[in-house]
Structure 1
Amino acid sequence: MRKKLTPKLLDNLPPAEGKRYEVRDELVTGLHIRVSNAGGKVWYLATRVDGVSRRIKLGTYPVLSLKDAREQAQMILRDIQLGTFQQRDIEPEPPVLTLGDVIPQFITRYAQRQTKDWKGTESILMRMNGLHVMPINAIKRGDVTRELERLISDIGAKGGKGTRANRGLAAIKKLYSWCVDQGIVENSPVVGLKPPIKEESRDRVLTDDEIIAYWKGCEAEGYPFEQFGKLLLLTGQRRDEIASMRWSEIDMHRGTLTLKAERTKNGSAHIVPLSRQALDILRSIPRFLNSEYVFTSTGKTPISGFGRFKDRLDTFVGMDAENWRFHDVRRTVATNMAILKVQPHIIEAVLNHKSGIVSGVASIYNRHAYLDEKHEALQIWGDYVEKLTAPKAPPIRHVSTGAETVAYS
């Protein structure tokens, strides 16, 4: 990180989370302060002495002030230029960081603070293990391209579409942008690199038979995935929004789920009316003592392992694993609401779409509007799902006994 240092900025530098970090001065070349996880701050000057890269320790802050550190650094640089510098307390340059070294720092210091899906970012970066041992400043554009091609090959062998490689490119672009800001590298090798896979918008919608199969597959799970999968279908909300539900977000009396802005993908607060069927499911869920999470197996964190859950659904109900995703459930809800004559702007309100029919200034004034209409729409959908998935009565067989006909079920 390169900044114009000020005493106020130095006083407010937070302790490192994990490995120590450095902040470079914009005014004096090579001057930087290193911050440890204990909050200690030490001045250093990075320069070359007799053609060899060296790191010279100047002293600790605030004993050595910003003004003193700059003056001392400038004196040393002058002496080196004049050839009169007497070597003292010089540290060799630290070993070059590898990508594997940088990923945990990037996740802790940037992704966890800035992105909601930081676990997904971490997961895809960890999959790019062919680059982990390489120095972060030595990775070339071609190295990244070859690693993305390997991801496509590996995922393709499992029947995937390879879009994970696009996620990998997006993640490593963010990582290198952060590295440039931190002064870890001077330039990013992936600037302007195009995604390796052309993605097409999906239009997959589950058929009625597939909805029935999905429902039966959920019922075979038990808590927590049974109720999670059913609520995903009944509400049409995003997977992580339902998976991370808190009891404090649910008002059983009013029949609503209230998602704060930080819990939604588009950053807009969202009220989800709950149908009678959704409320019945919530009432059936056991509560972990002192846990806020509706869906949890530990009481401390929300559920995960959605890929394994989907695999079990595929195996149990025989659905085409290559041809559906959990996000298709959301599209299925929207499509069926349209078939059931729900107005498009109400469907958008149910899905919490930020752009579309209701957008701009109108979206601000309509933030809490359509609550009754959303409730009606989700109840219509809930009734449809209930009717669709209800156990079918066995056919009636008529057996003639000669004198009379007896009906058997």
Structure 2
Amino acid sequence: MTDKIELSDAMLRSLKLPATGVIYHPDSKIAGFGIRVSKHGLKTFYFIYRFKDQRPRLTLGHYPKISLAQARKRASEATGLLYRGLDPAIHLRLNEEDTHASADVTPHVSQAPIFTFALQEYIDKHLATKCRPSTQREVSRSLRSNFLEPWAAIPIDQITAFQVSEIIDAKIADDKPSAAIHAHADIKAFFAWCVARKMIKASPADTIPTPASKGKRKRSLNAHEIQAVWLATEKEVNPIGKLIQLALVTGQRRGEIAGMRWDELHIKHGYWEIPGSRTKNGLDHIVPLSFLAIAIIDSVTKTPMPMQPGDTEIRYSPFVFPAQRLPAKPISDFSDTKERLDRLAAIAPWCIHDLRRTMATGLGEIGILPKPKKKLFNHAENEVHDTYDRFEYFKERCEAMHLWALYVKKAIAGQIETASIGAFDNPFARIEEQPSPGASP
């Protein structure tokens, strides 16, 4: 093989024949591209590349049957395919006539990227710019967990409606109608974006009907089930166990807890402040923290960030529950931990959102009045207020959190007979609903 040099027509015409075998002349302009010359005078353009730990050699055509400009164009197309995660040997289709006789045949190049590449483009260019951070995480998690493994290396123009329905139907068969509905909506939006970007001509998800819902879930856990789930989380080394405990104790949404930041916590004053950018209704939300919630948070160890050049001290993740591999981001994958907890708890099927419903049910039985309860769960108000008061009913909400923590603690200890929810005396249940001034604690 000779040294790299920028190939030119004048050079190609004057190439000397080797005495034996072949000699390779790599081009300095395009990596992997070059021309080989045999002792019989056959001049063949080639493209060498690395793909999945292999180094295939692709024949692009023979000179002068195809010109140097045509060969360079094909090498550039092959390079573009590699950037998309595609094997040029498969997706850069050259007719046999093209490589041996005709210089006029243009190769057919598949323009559709593989699913892995297209999905990352969708996340980076659409979700990251059009959606709230919590929505980005949920949709990204849904698409990756449901579709990435089976479709990773498939060009998106080759994914069929049958393949889409196969995954959706599997969710329905597993008695997960809500997961099926979300997966259907997420993949449909993804393919619609691909159509708009001219990656594909039509969406394979358009003909798939929206899965039927089983109606609103009503599942809430009783005291024995609370005990079983809690004891299971205490055996879990993954911090998701602590996250699930907080979901039960605070009644807040899974995504809000997963995205909890250390700078949102005001432990000294006993509350957690969730910014509107992370809440469902877009409003800032003040969550009173009971003694049990504070104990859980105090038991979580801060996660150090990977050291970067120039770092003089350890930096910690801003998140209470960071992703294990990327501590700069919040945790998003709950499936493996949830499956382990299900096996340990051995109770009827439940989801993390059921813990929020469990707390809501318990507070209703205690006698917490509707308005403080709504504020506690950050439910949208029907009436419009001139000024939104984040600390409205704060005293009542603190008391409600305290009572609920007492109940959970008794349930964990197995003191069911003496700790029914109705056994607690709640003085705030007898106070007439009057808006409080809402001063900061």
Question: Deviations 1:108-139 (Å, cap 9, x if unpaired)?
Answer: 21123324323224325625846973553x76
Structure 1 segment 178-327 matched on structure 2, within 5 A: 178-185=193-200, 188=203, 190-191=205-206, 194-222=209-237, 224-289=239-304, 290-291=315-316, 292-296=318-322, 297=324, 299-320=327-348, 323-327=349-353
Q: 1:226 to 1:191 in 2, by over 3 A?
A: closer
Please, which runs of 5 or more residues in structure 1 have no aligned partner?
A: 1-56, 58-90, 394-409
Residue among 364, 372, 375 paired with 1:349: 375
Matched residue SS, 2:331? coil
CA contact (8 A) 1:130 1:147 kept: no
Instruction: Tell me how far apart the structure 2 counterparts of residues 218 and 308 of structure 1 sit (CA, whole Å).
Output: 13
Check if 1:373 corresponds to 2:396.
Answer: yes
Q: Determine the C-alpha separation between the residues in 2 that align with 1:128 and 1:167.
A: 18
| TM-score, length basis structure 2 | 0.59
SS class of match (2:269): coil
Deviation at 1:360, TM superposition (A): 4.4
Distance in 1 between the 2:188 and 2:153 partners? 15
TM-aligned CA distance change 1:258 to 1:124, over 3 Å? same
Distance across 1 between alignment mates of 2:230 and 2:142 = 31
> For residue 359 of structure 1, what is the amino acid of its counterpart?
N
Describe the SS at the equivalent of 2:268: coil
Alignment gaps of 5+ in structure 2 = 1-72, 74-105, 305-314, 417-441
Partner secondary structure for residue 385 of structure 2: helix
Give deviations 1:190-227, integer Å, cap 9, x for gaps.
55853033342100010111011111111222462342
Report the Cα distance in structure 1 between the residues aligned to 2:344 and 2:293, rounded to whole angstroms.
Answer: 23
CA contact (8 A) 2:164 2:204 kept: no
| Secondary structure of 1:295's aligned partner | coil
Deviation at 1:262, TM superposition (A): 1.8
Matching residue within 405, 412, 427 for 1:382: 405
| CA RMSD of superposed structures (Å) | 3.2
| Alpha-carbon distance in 2 for matches of 1:229, 1:372 | 25
Given the superposition, is the C-alpha separation of residues 195 and 156 from structure 1 closer, same or farther in structure 2, using an over 3 Å criterion? closer
AA paired with 2:346?
A: G
| Secondary structure of 1:342's aligned partner | coil
Instruction: Check the 8 A contact 1:234/1:278 in 2, yes or no.
Output: yes
1:302 partner letter: P
CA 1:220–1:128 in 2, change beyond 3 Å: closer, same or farther? closer
Question: Structure 2 residue aligned with 1:329, among 334, 340, 355?
Answer: 355
Q: 2:123 aligns with which of 107, 118, 139?
A: 107
For 1:223 and 1:102, locate their aligned partners in 2 and report how far apart those are by CA, in whole Å.
Answer: 31
Once residues 332 and 190 of structure 1 are traced to their aligned partners in structure 2, the CA distance between those partners, rounded to angstroms, is 36
2:384 maps to a residue whose letter is: V
TM norm structure 1 = 0.63
Separation in 2, partners of 1:235, 1:249: 15
* CA shift in 2, pair 1:283/1:135, >3 Å: closer
Q: Percent identity?
A: 31
Secondary structure of the corresponding residue to residue 280 of structure 1: helix
Instruction: Report the equivalent of 1:10.
Output: none
User: Kindly tell me: are residues 238 and 105 of structure 1, through their superposed partners in 2, closer, same or farther at Cα, counting changes over 3 Å?
Assistant: same
Taking the aligned partners of 2:342 and 2:142, their CA distance within structure 1 comes to 26
The answer (yes or no) to whether the contact 1:112–1:118 under 8 Å persists in 2 is: no
SS of residue paired to 2:372: helix
Q: Does residue 173 of structure 2 align to residue 150 of structure 1?
A: no
Query: CA, structure 1 residues 178+304, in 2 after alignment: closer, same or farther (shift >3 Å)?
Result: closer
Q: How far 1:328 sits from its partner (Å)?
A: 0.5
Greater fraction of residues in strand? 1
| Corresponding residue pairs, total | 295
Larger Rg: 2
Q: Tell me the CA shift for residue 335 of structure 1.
A: 0.7
Residue among 168, 180, 184 paired with 2:183: 168
SS of the counterpart of 1:202? coil
